[in-house]
Amino acid sequence: MKRRKSREVKIGRLKIGGGNPVVVQGMTKTKTEDVPATVAQIRKLTQAGAKIVRIALPDMVAAKDLSKIRTEVDIPLVADVHFNHKLALEAIDRGIDKVRVNPGNMAKKEILKIAEKAKKKGIPLRVGINSGSLERGVLKDHFLKGRVREDEEERYRTTVAEAMAKSALNTVKLLEKVDFSDIVVSLKANDVLTTILSYQLISDKISYPLHLGITASGPPPEGIIKSSIAIGTLLFQGIGDTIRVSLTCDPVEEVKIGYQILKSLGLFKGGPDLISCPSCGRCRIDLESVAKEILSEIEGIKTPLKIAVMGCEVNGPGEAREADIGIACNKRGGTLFKKGKPLRKVKEKDIVRVLLEEVEKMSQEAD
């Protein structure tokens, strides 16, 4: 997959853009000033594979608490300060690795004050545009949501996407004027097509890394579908250097889905991949329970392994043979395949145990 060429930006010790692998970002959902809870969640996100964690700094208490959080974790942290630029200045003093600024919520002179301090400390800024808080002036009032007729939907979508890209470009130019170039850009809308369009519009106009995401996409499964389509489409077009899946649920799930998206596009290789058929009238075993049990047991495994669990002899032997380890079920149980070769017959009650033992063995061999 040919990826858009972007310049490299350093977030703490992490390099993004410039041909580096696409990075999955996480976000805490604790009250930041509850330091133990925030630290615990950052650790969980790190364990799930997040390479950057965004934390919200809603007030000065949270901003000052950043020092305590910083000493407990070493993953690069991004501060979201929303409206108050003073919180960003405080965060920079307290060891933040990146600051997100939203020109829809902050005056230009305030953004410049942040940039001045960030530059001295070598900290990048993310110009984070959100369709829900677009800069006044870039979007004409009569296009505001709620007043748009159905036949105007496409025009509205294009207008919002153009406004988002324009707002980002304006802020990028503002930063470039003061010789600030440690920039990352994101353009998030809650609508899949608007999001895709806005990133497409900006992708060839700047060379800074792009952070991808859908905003307020909702709980699973709807949120997963929206995020996967938007982020997946853009990554497939080579656009995107970091991603964050936004879901109304445990943030660890967001990181896991992020990796699933990267794995589906061949942009990340790691951990097992479970291939299982939907099962149908031909299947004689409880395939759903087997697949679910295997999925929960293989969660912590880091070795890239293709595991197939197939319901019958129609596609079963083919898929099981293609996998590293697989089982093609039949009336009495199934046939176990390893690296393309049939190994032995397995009784239904032993399928999960036998497969997991083989997975464990293969994972140890790979270490």
Tell whether residue 146 is a contact of ligand SF4 (CB under 6 A): no
Residue with tokens 């009336």: 331
Tell whether residue 106 is a contact of ligand SF4 (CB under 6 A): no
With respect to ligand SF4, which residue has the nearer C-beta, 160 or 329?
A: 329
Stated as kind and residue range, the H or E segment containing 336 is strand 333-338
With respect to ligand SF4, which residue has the nearer C-beta, 55 or 287?
A: 287
To ligand SF4, the closest distance from the beta carbon of 263 in angstroms equals 22
Kindly state the number of chain residues that form the binding site for ligand SF4, as judged by CB under 6 A. 12
Burial class of residue 348 (count of CB atoms within 10 Å of its CB; 0-12, 13-18, 19+): middle
Cβ neighbors of 155 (< 8 A, separation 6 or more) are none
Cβ neighbors of 97 (< 8 A, separation 6 or more) are 11, 12, 14, 52, 76, 77, 78, 123
| Binding residues among 278-307 for ligand SF4 as defined by CB under 6 A | 278-280, 282-283
> Using CA atoms, how far apart are residues 78 and 12, in angstroms rounded to an integer?
10
Residue with tokens 């999001």: 195
Tell whether residue 60 is a contact of ligand SF4 (CB under 6 A): no
Q: Which stretch binds ligand SF4 (CB under 6 A): 105-113, 143-151, 300-308, 311-319?
A: 311-319
What is the identity of the amino acid at 175? L
With respect to ligand SF4, which residue has the nearer C-beta, 39 or 290?
A: 290
Tell whether residue 148 is a contact of ligand SF4 (CB under 6 A): no
> Using CA atoms, how far apart are residues 26 and 49, in angstroms rounded to an integer?
9
With respect to ligand SF4, which residue has the nearer C-beta, 22 or 283?
A: 283
With respect to ligand SF4, which residue has the nearer C-beta, 56 or 320?
A: 320
Binder among 42, 312, 323, 351 for ligand SF4 (CB under 6 A) = 312
Q: Which stretch binds ligand SF4 (CB under 6 A): 71-79, 157-165, 223-231, 272-280?
A: 272-280
Smallest CA-to-CA distance from 62 within 29, 45, 87, 41 is with 87
**Angle of the 192-203 helix axis to the 222-236 helix axis, nearest 10:** 20
Tell whether residue 330 is a contact of ligand SF4 (CB under 6 A): no
CB 81 within 8 A of CB 91: yes
For ligand SF4, the nearest residue by Cβ is 311
To ligand SF4, the closest distance from the beta carbon of 329 in angstroms equals 7
To ligand SF4, the closest distance from the beta carbon of 284 in angstroms equals 9
With respect to ligand SF4, which residue has the nearer C-beta, 230 or 291?
A: 291
With respect to ligand SF4, which residue has the nearer C-beta, 6 or 279?
A: 279
DSSP string, 126-166: EEEEEGGGPPBTTB-GGGSTTS--GGGHHHHHHHHHHHHHH
Tell whether residue 37 is a contact of ligand SF4 (CB under 6 A): no
With respect to ligand SF4, which residue has the nearer C-beta, 70 or 321?
A: 321
To ligand SF4, the closest distance from the beta carbon of 315 in angstroms equals 4
Give the three-class secondary structure for 238.
coil
Name the residues that contact ligand SF4, by CB under 6 A. 277-280, 282-283, 310-312, 314-316
